[in-house]
Amino acid sequence: MTKGKVDALLGIVFGDEGKGKVVDFFTPRYDVVARFAGGPNAGHTIIFDGKKFVLRSIPSGIFDEGKTNIIGNGCVIAPDLFMAEARELEAAGYDIAPRLHISRRAHLILPTHRVLDRAYEAAKGKNKVGTTGKGIGPAYSDKAARVGLRVGDIEENFEEKYRALKERHEQILRDLHYTDYDIAEEEKLWMEGVEYMRRFKLSNTEAEINRALTEGKSVLAEGAQGSLLDIDHGTYPFVSSSSTTAGGVCTGLGVAPNTIDRVFGIFKAYSTRVGSGPFPVELFDETGETLRRIGHEYGAVTGRNRRCGWIDLVALKYAIMINGVTDLVMMKGDVLDEFETIKVCTAYKKGDEVVTEMPYDTEGYEAVYEELPGWQTPLTEIREEKDFPPAFSAYIAYLEKQLAVRISIVSVGPDREATIIR
Ligand code: IMP
């Protein structure tokens, strides 16, 4: 953390790396915590003092009275879901309105965006993306098509603008012959959400963040999803619709590239993916099932089973390159405790072709593995690096050598204390 600079905390694979756990560790060090991309497709589970919260749109610095939290211009926001999320925090005693500022340039997710999300998925047949159904893709599509509604739009003639966009959506839905939906109740709640949002500071957050930087404050850009779900650099078309990588910090908050200092890349000691799309390391056998069971790999938003596999160095090297990762954070090392042998994917192969660089499309590639000995010792109670079993230290050293970036933080269990700084 450097005063007057932005650090980014990014999931660098397919999301669900466990950002929720480490933000709790990171946020106290920063003055401003800002979300720069995505929306309620995210689910950051935060557990402290025996309480559990799942944050979707709200930044993780929200529990701390002294911090400014920002939902940046690169985000999309669903007023009804935002209201539900915010009210839950208020009910738990957090006075969040003074500490949460929302960019007027962030786009709104309408109820009809969610219907469109379902309609587009239905129309895709077997090529479904497996979206979270939160209307993310359609909202970002409208943004790119220059017809979207922004938070700032609620300040003037909103009803009219809303009706025009809704009618446009209804027409598309008719064209798709997708007419069996009823959003009456949802729409009521959504409008209530719009009213509720007015109590927050709707501001030009890019100016606010830059002012904070000039004043020497520190900013944490809190990522959502993961680098391989980035609209440009992910496994397109099986991606989300925002810029989840380090470049998205600049566009999604309005900060210049030279304000970025450290880029923390979070990854798990193994791999997971939710939704469709190629996943060369996916295990369909008992090992995959064991990883899912021990790692509790079920989606925070949708409850879906996550697809599981061994760690993927091809994907990690690519994500480190795209993001300029300066520090790695390895989560869930303890999930591998019981394995006799641990595999690491070092290349992909298709027929006779073997690649170590991320291909244009990973479909049809299989993983090539190296094997390392497992530690077969519980890690969860360990609090100092010197107590790591040698095979775990060797696994870390091997990854650092392969990835050429230091793993600065290692998490070995769900507790706050099970986080070792190196
Ligand atoms: P969407 O963001 O709802 O459009 O979903 C697009 C793809 O991204 C799907 O495969 C989702 O499962 C995946 N996805 C979206 N948000 C998350 C997340 O927070 N964690 C993991 N996967 C996500």
Output the DSSP codes for 83-147.
Answer: HHHHHHHHHTT---GGGEEEETTSEEPPHHHHHHHHHHHHHTGGG-----SSSHHHHHHHHHTT-
Centroid of ligand 1 to alpha carbon of 35 (angstroms): 16
For 72, 204, 323, the CA distances from 249, given in Å and listed in that order, are 9, 16, 10
Centroid of ligand 1 to alpha carbon of 403 (angstroms): 26
Q: Is 316 in the pocket of ligand 1 (CB under 6 A)?
A: no
Confidence class of residue 414 from pLDDT cuts 50, 70 and 90?
confident
pLDDT tens across 161-220, in order? Answer: 999 999 999 999 999 999 999 999 999 999 999 999 999 999 999 999 999 999 999 999
How many Cα neighbours within 13 Å face the side chain of 47?
8
Choose the catalytic residue: 44, 107, 169, 233.
44
Confidence class of residue 300 from pLDDT cuts 50, 70 and 90?
low
Q: State the average pLDDT for the chain.
A: 95
16 is a catalytic site residue = yes
Per-residue model confidence (pLDDT) at position 416: 79
Check whether 20 has a pLDDT greater than 90. Answer: no
Centroid of ligand 1 to alpha carbon of 201 (angstroms): 28
272 contacts: CB under 8 Å, gap ≥ 6: 13, 14, 16, 291, 295, 297, 306, 307, 308, 309
Per-residue model confidence (pLDDT) at position 301: 67
Number of the ligand 1 atom closest to the C-alpha atom of 302:
12
349 contacts: CB under 8 Å, gap ≥ 6: 355, 365, 366, 368
Of 11, 1, 52, which Cα lies nearest the Cα of 332? 11
Q: Is 16 in the pocket of ligand 1 (CB under 6 A)?
A: yes
Which residue among 17, 57, 240, 276 is best mutated to probe the pocket of ligand 1, counting the most ligand atoms within 8 A of its Cβ? Answer: 240
Centroid of ligand 1 to alpha carbon of 200 (angstroms): 27
The 8-class DSSP code of residue 264 comes to E
Q: Is 244 in the pocket of ligand 1 (CB under 6 A)?
A: no
Q: Please, are residues 99 and 199 in contact by the beta-carbon 8 Å criterion?
A: no
For 21, 104, 130, 282, 401, the CA distances from 113, given in Å and listed in that order, are 31, 19, 16, 31, 45
- Residues 303-323: what's their mean pLDDT? 95
Check whether 409 has a pLDDT greater than 70. Answer: yes
Q: Is 138 in the pocket of ligand 1 (CB under 6 A)?
A: no
Of 34, 45, 32, which Cα lies nearest the Cα of 10? 34
Check whether 21 has a pLDDT greater than 90. Answer: no
Centroid of ligand 1 to alpha carbon of 240 (angstroms): 6
Query: Which position has the token pair 């030279």?
Result: 258
Check whether 268 has a pLDDT greater than 80. Answer: yes
Q: Which protein residue has the closest C-alpha to ligand 1 atom 19?
A: 42
pLDDT tens across 56-69, in order? Answer: 999 999 999 889 99
- Residues 76-105: what's their mean pLDDT? 97
